[in-house]
């Protein structure tokens, strides 16, 4: 990794810790970055790790499906449908895991429980930090996130969207079949979300390691020194 990349990573981690620290201090009785926030960070890390893996699988299928089928058509033709569904399933799994982390609950500001993810107050500000230090195409990233949230909303509120189409069966029974939502998920969007997820796996890992090391020292200096 280049020196400028390492410096950007350190800056992103430092600023992200500050964001998360202020979020933690703003409500609840757990006003330091030790337990149980390590649990929440580990869940966020898992979400972004899954998102990146699924989106990476989708990109691989997108880039290699035609090559495989054309060169080995006699052998691989039977897998064409499976590759289509693998691409579709991995794409949506990645998008939904990304939005799951993005929309993590902020919790009760005045309650006694620990406040965890806080999508709008933690994750999105962290993405802004990443854009400042690492990424150039800010508008494209913002659009990819907006589209990801839209896809998630369509899949949840399917009765009000075009994610499902009603069709009549014999006996006047009604069944529902899912439309192909890939029209809402462009290849560029998948690539952007994959990259952001990938960066998150490093940043969250570094944050957790920083908290763990300082917690084992038996002090909360990291809460005050950032």
CA 61 to chain centre: 20
In the chain, % of residues over pLDDT 90: 15
Tens of pLDDT along 8-35?
889 999 998 888 888 777 665 555 555 5
Q: How far apart are CA 200 and CA 100, in angstroms?
A: 14
- Which own/partner contact pairs does 206-214 have at CB distance under 8 Å and 24+ positions apart? 206/9, 206/13, 207/13, 207/16, 207/17, 207/20, 207/41, 208/38, 208/41, 208/42, 208/45, 210/13, 210/17, 211/17, 211/33, 211/34, 211/37, 211/38, 211/41, 212/38
Q: What's the whole-model pTM score?
A: 0.67
Q: What residue numbers bound the domain in which 162 lies?
A: 3-225
Comparison of pLDDT for 21 and 134, the residue scoring more: 134
- Highest mean pLDDT of the ranges 14-23, 41-50, 99-108, 130-139: 130-139
* pLDDT of residue 100 exceeding 50: yes
Number of independent structural domains in the chain: 1
Q: Tell me the DSSP string of 170-217.
A: GGG-EEEEE--GGGGS-HHHHHHHHHHHHHHHHHHHHHHHHHHHHHHT
Nearest to 90 by CA among 48, 50, 55: 55
Report, as an integer, the average pLDDT of 100-113. 65
Q: How far apart are CA 199 and CA 59, in angstroms?
A: 17
Tens of pLDDT along 159-201?
444 555 555 455 555 554 556 666 777 888 899 999 999 999 9
pLDDT confidence tier of residue 222, bands split at 50, 70 and 90? very low
**By mean pLDDT, which of 9-18, 95-104, 135-144 is the weakest?**
95-104
In the chain, % of residues over pLDDT 70: 64
Give residue 161's region: left, alpha or beta (phi > 0; psi -120 to 50): beta
Mean pLDDT of all residues belonging to the chain: 75
Tens of pLDDT along 30-88?
555 555 567 777 888 888 988 998 898 888 888 887 777 776 665 556 567 667 777 87
């Amino acid at each position: 990794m280049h020196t400028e990349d390492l410096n950007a990573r350190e800056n992103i981690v430092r600023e992200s810790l500050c964001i998360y620290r202020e979020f933690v201090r703003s409500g609840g009785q757990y006003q330091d970055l030790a337990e149980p926030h390590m649990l929440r960070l580990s869940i966020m890390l898992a979400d972004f790790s899954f998102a990146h893996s699924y989106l990476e699988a989708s990109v691989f299928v997108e880039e290699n499906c035609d090559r495989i089928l054309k060169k080995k058509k006699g052998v691989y033709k039977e897998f064409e449908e499976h590759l289509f569904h693998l691409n579709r399933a991995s794409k949506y799994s990645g998008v939904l895991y990304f939005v799951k982390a993005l929309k993590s609950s902020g919790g009760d500001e005045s309650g006694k429980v620990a406040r965890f993810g806080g999508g709008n107050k933690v994750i999105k500000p962290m993405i802004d930090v990443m854009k400042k230090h690492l990424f150039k195409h800010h508008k494209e990233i913002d659009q990819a996130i907006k589209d990801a949230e839209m896809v998630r909303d369509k899949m949840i509120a399917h009765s009000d969207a075009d994610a499902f189409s009603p069709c009549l069966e014999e006996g006047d029974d009604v069944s529902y079949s899912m439309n192909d939502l890939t029209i809402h998920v462009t290849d560029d969007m998948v690539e952007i979300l994959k990259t952001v997820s990938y960066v998150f796996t490093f940043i969250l890992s570094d944050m957790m390691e920083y908290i763990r090391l300082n917690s084992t020292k038996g002090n909360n200096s990291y809460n005050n020194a950032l």
